[in-house]
Chains A and B, each alone.
Chain A
């Protein structure tokens, strides 16, 4: 189990990396040696017994492996904040309660990673004229930016860009689709993963 505080301590991180390098070298050395050796004998722990009608072979499922979000990653940001995206009403740039909650958690997360900067993309649905929507997308991005700044995120860490109606998240037509496209998305800059 990776520990967040451990990973953030540079010295320990270096140790982990060194260990990894050593392990990799070890693997390389092993494979080179293998060429000279006879094939390995079957594992002793599992006796080779042909299955019979009375003794069925029992195969346990493979050991479970689950990916985990590395702290400081985009996946971690999304998981911790609940979402990287907040949504808006028609022709509106007002942040509703769910949006404020998400942005509040985004601000908390950004407080923990002061070296990470963000770009907030403002988007609209396609039921507006092109240039108006560019301006509306700019409003939405700035509404999110201003909220993060009010929560203590240094405004110089936040840039905005409006895509208007040019980059919908969902293709199609109808209120369900438009609601998903009226959004501001917080993109991490300088974060890995």
Chain B
């Protein structure tokens, strides 16, 4: 009833309302139909009850920066169209945060509005209050406060963006996340590679290793506190672990002392208590599992050929991997104990680097064929294959924790420059991430707690 009254009230003023509201009684972004019409959303600068200094600048400055980060997050999804703050006709003062002037925002054709405030707590931490509104119904959709150190203000902004994304799409957000990847520089014949860590939007970038040793294929532990990767330290290519809190790096070793040959392609199992990886011995490569407590190693595959790139299902019951046992690189699924190995990819070309979706129903992969490397997805039984990108060399997919966005790296045909890109599940909204140097082998963290 309320919706109907509101509709009649504004139909004369805003023709757009006719288009936007009848489509759905509840303001919602339909995430499955792609991004033909991203939702216009306004994120004015967050207010402050009293301007005050913090370790990261004044609350007034933080209010503007928080709003900018939220707008950038939502815009990067392709599902929202943040309106240009230069067009805003009204400021949202502290008293307006919970009582915004909806008429002014309707005039700008905003469908959703995010307001909020930044305040300093007695202990020096800050509170970022976040509110989301349906502009046409003047209804509040969500509200949440986030307390963090002043230095952590970006995380509060990402949390607010995740709240808005979640409320309007019905999906969990993915903005408060990090990316570990391999930063590349120098000629390709003597490429220098470093592990690097950054926020999902490229902020807070830092190098984890100094480039002295070749490093490859980092992956997060489920708790986000440890990274596993491959390093050529001491000319011994093998799997390493990097503890982020301490910076300590250790080679992964079994209870028996050491692995006899190259270990690579490491991934954590759900829960983080064990890992899967590959080991090559005498030209034969198989998938193994190691318990991180007992360091007991179990061999999961034994077929002659290359079995590698294992990726566990989110419930840990199954593992998808690639094998050339049938002649060329193809995808196989097995139970977590190695039993029941079954091929799932049967299309033309080769399939590699499978990654099980966090939602459990989809597998992303690299497809090689027709002179291209492309990122694709299929159901876990191999049906419903769809290719999402088309380029000279797209490789190494990694899922956003909500399973809606895939990051990968793209190598240019000419010059060989590498960069990180994202694409959504509809194959739309391809975006290149900004990194200080060339970039490859991205891995998306879980949603931070």
What residues of chain A have their CB less than 8 Å away from a CB belonging to chain B? 91, 93, 126-132, 134-136, 138-139, 141-143, 146, 161-163, 166-173
Q: Is the CB of B262 within 8 A of A131?
A: no
| CB nearest to A142 among chain B residues | B283
Q: Is the CB of A161 within 8 A of B237?
A: yes
Q: Does B9 contact A (CB under 8 A)?
A: no
Closest Cβ–Cβ distance, residue B385 to chain A (whole Å): 17
CB neighbours (8 Å) of A128 from chain B are 352, 368
Q: Is the CB of A129 within 8 A of B411?
A: no
CB neighbours (8 Å) of B285 from chain A are 135, 138
Which residues 282-337 of B have a CB within 8 angstroms of A?
A: 282-283, 285, 306, 308-309, 322, 324, 328-329
Q: Can you give 25 A-B contacts (C-beta < 8 A)?
A: A91-B328, A93-B283, A128-B368, A129-B396, A130-B216, A130-B217, A131-B308, A131-B352, A132-B308, A132-B322, A132-B329, A132-B352, A134-B216, A135-B278, A138-B262, A142-B282, A142-B283, A143-B283, A146-B283, A162-B237, A166-B191, A166-B193, A166-B216, A170-B189, A171-B189
Given contacts A129-B352, A143-B283, 10 further A-B contacts (CB under 8 A): A126-B393, A126-B416, A132-B309, A134-B264, A135-B280, A138-B261, A162-B262, A172-B416, A173-B414, A173-B416
Q: Is the CB of B189 within 8 A of A168?
A: yes
Instruction: Report Cα–Cα, A53/B214, bound state, in Å.
Output: 68
Q: Does B2 contact A (CB under 8 A)?
A: no
Closest Cβ–Cβ distance, residue A134 to chain B (whole Å): 5
Which residues 231-282 of B have a CB within 8 angstroms of A?
A: 235, 237, 261-262, 264-265, 278, 280, 282
- Pick from B235, B282, B309, B413: contact of A173, CB below 8 A: B413
| CB nearest to A122 among chain B residues | B283
Closest Cβ–Cβ distance, residue B370 to chain A (whole Å): 12
Q: Is the CB of A134 within 8 A of B283?
A: no
Instruction: Report Cα–Cα, A25/B306, bound state, in Å.
Output: 62
| CB nearest to B395 among chain A residues | A129
Closest Cβ–Cβ distance, residue B329 to chain A (whole Å): 6
Instruction: Report Cα–Cα, A132/B216, bound state, in Å.
Output: 13
Closest Cβ–Cβ distance, residue B342 to chain A (whole Å): 20
